[in-house]
Amino acid sequence: MASKQDMFTPLLNAFPDLSKRVAQPSRDPDEGEVLAALLGEVRRYGRTQVDSEAIDKRGALGKEMLAQVAEQGWFGLTIPEKLGGAGLSVKAATRVVAELSSYNGSLATCVGLHSGLGLYCLIHLARPELQERYLPHVASGERIAAFAATEPNAGSDIAGVRSTLKEVDGKLLLNGTKCYVTNGGLCGVLTVLAASPGLGGARSGHTMVLVDPAWPGVQRGAEEHKLGLKGSSTITIDFDNVEIPRDHVLGEVSKGLEHAHAALTWGRTFMAAGCLGSAQAALAAARAHTAERVQFGRTLDRFPLVREQLAQCTADVYTVESVIRLTSDIYDAGLGDIALDSTVAKIIASEGSWNVIDRGVQLMGGMGYIEDAGMARRLRDTRVTRIFEGANDVLRLHLASATLSWPSATLLSLPKAAPVVGDELREAAEAFDRLLAKLGEALARIRKTHGFKLFERQSLQSAMADVMIPTYAMLAVLLRASGSVPPGATPQTSRELAIALYATERLEHQAEAAFTVMNRVDASPGLDKIEAVLAEP
């Protein structure tokens, strides 16, 4: 999708073909066979070799586990076959990451960050000679990948990085500090974003480079002590006059911010998949516990309130998976840029998984709070996903501000889903159409009223995003169900249809509630009240 195209029209125009894609678990039948085998290997390994308590106690995955993962070939998921990898589509690779996450968040973070954010620039932007030099060793697990952009004074404001890449006496020298580098203590290849004023004749700009952490001048710090993901590596890395070979520049000089945003777009899809796997495991654990735990003469899962909560979690997991599938399919099929789609995927997956896991703790009662049950670890591991690879608060602002470039005429005449779905989904599609038309009118009105002053109204932007997210997710669910639910099915004959209808109903309610907030914030920002509350005592 082009930047000046709304994020709904292309999907609705491609609805019939796209629904068939989203309904399938992989890119094609051949990849489906490979994926099924890979998932089987992950399950066998997870059941027999992954000891999450031991991983947390030692604060690391450990050399033995990393060697086993390398032997399985899981560090080569996204690397082309000709360079030693599996050559999987994003859709298939994210499914593997989700499966790993169902067993351990630290393991999934290591593999997912490596496969997504860590390798994007090397796979997509590096010269062929550089790819041939590094990627076979990366695919084999000899070199693990990492990505370094965040600095002590530059987090969400990625353009504020102070690390520099400068030409001195004919040499490119990298200086600066990067913090919170996931896989930093393990990596053998490191993508670094640095400010590059004057480089290539540009007065300003940023450039991406590939760094071997074994080079002189690269200094790794100690492992951070974190709330969760205790087995993943997170460190600070210093660069002191590190000489960068010119062929290690990734992409174009001074285009580093664009490249970084592309890498983050790709990486967020993998991170969302990790959230999905954690939520799936939490739901399975909650269902197993409530089916066994007896209170007041019957198992917990026979109580209406418990059943409602389990159904809500089931619908939410289905929604998250549908959004990830859609985002992956858009990318794999080359249907357009997924910057906004992956933003929605990241937000809805990180927040949805937290809600499902938190509900799992509640449903398991005291047992859920005990470490041995594993739910507490999932809760800790998932918390950071709302922060890294773009804090959700900031991503909401990006999502809302993107609407400023959407054509007003398009917003007032958005396509409809109801005419292209079967009778079994017609009512849900009509509800979506009403919601989307209402959203289009609201976005057009807000843009006309505020224009670029919208950037000053962050509460309104956040509320706009809170309407857009469930609306987009509703479309993802409709696309998936339309391609997989048999014609003429009913909720009584098709469990997937029942889940999809319940999911769309929940998403509609979320969007309508967000509309109420958006209209209230638009009418009265309430800044005077906020300033009064925050006044010095």
Give the pLDDT confidence of 49-94 residue by residue, as tens digits.
Answer: 999 999 999 999 999 999 999 999 999 999 999 999 999 999 999 9
422 by DSSP, 3-state: which?
coil
CATH number, residue 53:
1.10.540.10
Please check whether residues 239 and 166 belong to one and the same domain.
Answer: yes
Phi, psi for residue 175 in degrees, rounded to 5: -135, 145
- For residue 339, being part of any structural domain is answered with no
| Separation CA 96–CA 76 (nearest Å) | 12
Domain boundary among 81, 109, 144: 144
Q: How many domains does the chain have?
A: 3
421 by DSSP, 3-state: which?
coil
- For residue 72, being part of any structural domain is answered with yes
β partners of residue 193: 208
Return the number of other C-beta atoms located less than 10 Å from residue 455's C-beta.
13
- For residue 344, being part of any structural domain is answered with no
Please check whether residues 72 and 200 belong to one and the same domain.
Answer: no
Identity of the amino acid at 181: V
Please check whether residues 482 and 427 belong to one and the same domain.
Answer: yes
- For residue 404, being part of any structural domain is answered with yes
Q: What is the mean pLDDT of the segment spanning 478-507?
A: 97
- The token pair that represents 465 in the structure block: 């995003």
- For residue 237, being part of any structural domain is answered with yes
Please check whether residues 42 and 166 belong to one and the same domain.
Answer: no
Residue 321 in this model has a pLDDT that exceeds 70: yes
- State the first-to-last Cα distance of the chain, in angstroms, to the nearest integer: 50
For residue 221, what are the domain limits? Answer: 145-255
| Separation CA 345–CA 322 (nearest Å) | 9
Instruction: List the alpha helices (DSSP H) in 125-255.
Output: 128-139
| Separation CA 97–CA 347 (nearest Å) | 17
Please check whether residues 183 and 89 belong to one and the same domain.
Answer: no
For residue 450, give every residue at least 6 positions away whose Cβ sits within 8 Å of its Cβ, in sequence order, or none: 457, 460
Look up the pTM and report it: 0.96
Phi, psi for residue 263 in degrees, rounded to 5: -65, -45
Phi, psi for residue 444 in degrees, rounded to 5: -65, -40
- At 108-131, the pLDDT tens digits run 999 999 999 999 999 999 999 999
Task: Characterize the bridge pairing of strands 144-148 and 187-195.
Answer: parallel
CB 410 within 8 A of CB 9: yes
- For residue 154, being part of any structural domain is answered with yes
CATH number, residue 212:
2.40.110.10
Please check whether residues 124 and 232 belong to one and the same domain.
Answer: no
Residues in the chain: 537
Domain boundary among 88, 114, 144: 144
If phi > 0 it is left, if psi is from -120 to 50 it is alpha, else beta; for residue 241 that is left
- At 270-318, the pLDDT tens digits run 999 999 999 999 999 999 999 999 999 999 999 999 999 999 999 999 9
Please check whether residues 395 and 414 belong to one and the same domain.
Answer: yes
For residue 409, give every residue at least 6 positions away whose Cβ sits within 8 Å of its Cβ, in sequence order, or none: none
CB 357 within 8 A of CB 278: yes
Given this model, what pLDDT does residue 358 score? 98
| Separation CA 117–CA 208 (nearest Å) | 13
Q: What is the mean pLDDT of the segment spanning 150-154?
A: 90
Please report which confidence band the pLDDT of residue 2 belongs to, taking 50, 70 and 90 as the band edges: very low
Please check whether residues 77 and 151 belong to one and the same domain.
Answer: no
CA atoms within 13 A on the CB side of 490: 2
- For residue 13, being part of any structural domain is answered with no
β partners of residue 177: 238
Please check whether residues 440 and 429 belong to one and the same domain.
Answer: yes
Domain boundary among 238, 255, 272: 255
- For residue 361, being part of any structural domain is answered with no
How much of the chain exceeds pLDDT 70, in percent? 99
281 by DSSP, 3-state: which?
helix
CATH number, residue 527:
1.20.140.10
Please check whether residues 103 and 209 belong to one and the same domain.
Answer: no
Please check whether residues 174 and 193 belong to one and the same domain.
Answer: yes
Measuring CA to CA, how many Å separate 63 from each of 55, 139, 225, 228, 231? 11, 17, 19, 20, 12
Please check whether residues 195 and 118 belong to one and the same domain.
Answer: no
Burial class of residue 319 (count of CB atoms within 10 Å of its CB; 0-12, 13-18, 19+): buried
Residue 352 in this model has a pLDDT that exceeds 60: yes
